[in-house]
């Protein structure tokens, strides 16, 4: 098997190697998942729930090891990794319960002389491909509902962050059974081989370009796509006092490498300059190396630098970098605010995926809403105002799968997350995600002659 070199994003130095799976490894993994499917899908929801609950407990008991692996691959600060691992355990526990409380269309005598009902059945073997920004959490978003619904899963981590999924697969083998959840390390070609293998469904989280390639290769099989975002934050003149610090924190969490992070601040003309001043102060207080981690890899760093260099912004307001000793050569980038830029600036129209906020203004609320909805991505958005009626109206009219009012990046297992437009389709989180990984079967029985239709 081939190997690829791994680097530490905090230092830029090598930290070892990871295997790169090819046709033989993909075939073995998918065949193993197919073998395990019969036993796993035949379990009652209660029995699957018990095993998923044991996996959640094992994740909690091994939190320190998960955190060390996650930090090695991403450079995230300890507080970020601890919170995300807690969310991962919660997700598996949530779906353990959710699978037992699912709903179904009405059953009964819907056709004269017949009794009908609907069975929800697993899709089968699900191929999952996840990115490097949240290696463990994005895998849990996909794997937990798929497993709870009775599927088996082969998950390919990003090439730069295989660490935590290797451990998750080991723990899954101990708690769920062999072959139920497997990790398939590798590169882009590995992902293509997985999509082209005889899996029954593909769940992909990544870039729009890669998502379109997945869709083409998957053919008629079901796919679930989360393809990034470019979230607007509409800040009105009566925004709460904590708006600016909240936006700066959300924009720099995970170094801005979050599909739902605020990216485009849109104000009215009357509060544009005051918002620039307040965001300059708030972003300036967020230090790379102290408050948030580095960009993940050299390719992402080069892409980010290229987008910033291509910007026509007349004001580029950057914070400082406080890299710890010995980590000065990592992929650190300062929190950055870009102001006085055209509406078609590349940093506005493209997903930047870094610790950066652009700021635009419009003369009216309607025009501000138009700017917010002017890009093809439609994953998440927020509105900041103390006017409840105005805020609720704008939240309803924003073209996004998830909208926040006076907050941003607030998520929980109970609430669905998913995109529109070029951000893809499908649902992560909540009980609705179970239907991503199930297919309905209608069963209708003709009643025996002579049985009264009461």
Catalytic residue numbers, as ranges = 226, 259
Please list the helix, strand and coil fractions of the chain in percent, rounded to the nearest 5, in that order.
40, 25, 35
Q: Which of 116, 108, 107, 117 is nearest to 454 (CA)?
A: 108
Q: What CA–CA distance (Å, rounded) separates 100 from 293?
A: 39
Residues whose CB falls within 8 Å of the CB of residue 67, separated by 6 or more in sequence, listed in order:
78, 81, 82, 85
Q: Are 208 and 350 in contact (CB under 8 A)?
A: no
Cα distances from 305 to residues 8, 259, 334, 356, 359, in angstroms, run 19, 18, 11, 11, 18
Strand partners, 439: 121
How crowded is residue 253: how many other Cβ atoms within 10 Å of its Cβ?
A: 23
**Distance (Å, rounded) from C-alpha 126 to C-alpha 326?**
42
Q: Would you state the structure tokens that stand for residue 6, as one six-digit string?
A: 């791994």
Distance, CA of 55 to chain centre: 21
Q: Please give the order of strands across the beta sheet that includes 424-425.
A: 181-183, 152-156, 125-129, 201-205, 222-226, 424-425
Q: Which residues pair with 121 in a beta bridge?
A: 439
The answer to whether the CB of 378 falls within 8 A of the CB of 400 is yes
Q: Which residues contact 64 (CB under 8 A, 6 or more apart)?
A: none
CA 236 distance to own-chain centroid: 28
Contact status, residue 385 vs residue 406, Cβ threshold 8 Å: yes
Picking from 274, 273, 286, the residue whose alpha carbon sits closest to that of residue 247 is: 286
CA-based nearest residue to 337, from 229, 243, 268, 251: 251
Q: Report the length, in residues, of the chain.
A: 454
Which letter does DSSP use for residue 428 in this model?
Answer: B
Instruction: For residues 182 and 25, give the distance between their C-alpha atoms in angstroms, rounded to a whole number.
Output: 11
- Give dist(CA 275, CA 277) in Å, integer: 5
Cα–Cα distance measured from residue 443 to residue 119, given in angstroms and rounded to the nearest whole number: 7
Q: Tell how strand 114-122 and strand 438-446 pair up.
A: antiparallel
């Amino acid at each position: 098997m081939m190997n690829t070199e791994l680097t530490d994003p905090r230092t830029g130095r090598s930290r070892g190697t990871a295997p790169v799976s090819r046709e033989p490894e993909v075939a073995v993994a998918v065949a193993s998942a197919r073998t395990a499917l019969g036993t796993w899908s035949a379990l009652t929801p209660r029995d699957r729930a018990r095993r998923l609950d044991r996996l959640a407990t094992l994740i909690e008991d091994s939190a320190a090891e998960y955190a060390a692996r996650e930090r090695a691959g991403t450079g995230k600060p300890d507080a970020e990794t601890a919170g995300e691992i807690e969310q991962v355990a919660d997700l598996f526990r949530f779906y353990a319960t959710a699978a037992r409380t699912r709903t179904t269309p009405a059953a009964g005598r819907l056709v004269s002389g017949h009794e009908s009902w609907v069975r929800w059945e697993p899709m089968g073997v699900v191929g999952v491909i996840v990115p490097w920004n949240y290696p463990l959490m994005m895998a849990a978003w996909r794997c937990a509902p798929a497993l709870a619904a009775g599927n088996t899963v082969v998950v390919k981590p990003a090439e730069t962050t295989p660490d935590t999924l290797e451990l998750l697969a080991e723990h899954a083998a101990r708690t769920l059974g062999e072959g139920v959840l497997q990790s398939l390390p590798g590169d882009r070609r590995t992902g293509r081989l997985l999509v082209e293998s005889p899996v029954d469904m593909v769940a992909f989280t990544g870039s729009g370009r890669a998502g379109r390639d997945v869709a083409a290769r998957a053919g008629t099989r079901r796919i679930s796509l989360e393809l990034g975002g470019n979230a607007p934050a509409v800040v009105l003149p009566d925004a709460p006092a904590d708006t600016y610090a909240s936006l700066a924190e959300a924009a720099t969490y995970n170094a801005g490498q979050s599909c739902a992070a605020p990216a485009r601040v849109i104000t009215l003309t009357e509060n544009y300059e005051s918002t620039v001043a307040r965001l300059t102060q708030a972003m300036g207080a967020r230090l790379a190396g102290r408050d948030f981690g580095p960009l993940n890899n050299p390719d992402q760093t080069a892409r980010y630098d290229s987008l910033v260099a291509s910007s026509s912004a007349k004001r580029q307001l950057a914070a400082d970098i406080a890299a710890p000793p010995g980590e000065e050569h990592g992929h650190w980038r300062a929190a950055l605010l870009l102001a006085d830029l055209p509406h078609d600036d590349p940093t506005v129209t493209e997903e930047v995926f870094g610790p950066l906020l652009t700021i635009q203004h419009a003369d009216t609320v309607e025009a501000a809403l138009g700017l917010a909805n002017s890009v093809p991505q439609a994953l998440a958005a927020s509105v900041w105002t103390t006017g409840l009626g105005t805020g609720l109206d704008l939240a309803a009219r924003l073209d996004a799968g998830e909208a926040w009012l006076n907050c941003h990046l607030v998520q929980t297992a109970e609430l669905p997350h998913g995109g529109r437009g070029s951000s893809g389709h499908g649902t992560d989180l909540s009980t609705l995600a179970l239907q991503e990984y199930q297919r309905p079967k209608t069963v209708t029985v003709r009643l025996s002659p002579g049985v009264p239709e009461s």
